[in-house]
């Protein structure tokens, strides 16, 4: 069994606490987990850890993940979000 770091534990806890309809940026997750400035590390972790609701975590500009754009858009739409031209509409 692989041991997790305190960063991984903290980020996983924040992401798992999101509910359908919630959105957070990578930076917000990092800050709430106690690691401000670690937005990229949050993205890396989300790619590695299965079972997390990764689609609820977005870039600060609302851009969806390029390689997973269609899947992320579908998941977000099922939670009531509007997607326009590969970006989530926050208004």
Mean pLDDT confidence for 73-77: 96
User: Could you tell me the pTM of the whole model?
Assistant: 0.90
- Torsion over CA: 35, 39, 44, 47 (sign): positive
Mean pLDDT confidence for 35-53: 96
Mean of per-residue pLDDT scores for the chain: 93
pLDDT beyond 70 at 1 = no
């Amino acid at each position: 069994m692989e041991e997790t770091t305190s960063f991984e534990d903290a980020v996983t806890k924040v992401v798992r606490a999101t509910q359908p309809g919630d959105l957070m940026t990578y930076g917000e997750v990092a800050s709430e987990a106690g690691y401000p400035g670690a937005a990229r590390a949050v993205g890396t972790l989300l790619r590695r850890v299965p079972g997390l609701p990764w689609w609820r975590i977005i870039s600060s500009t609302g851009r969806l993940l390029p390689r997973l754009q269609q899947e992320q858009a579908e998941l977000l739409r099922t939670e009531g979000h509007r997607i326009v031209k590969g970006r989530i509409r926050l208004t």
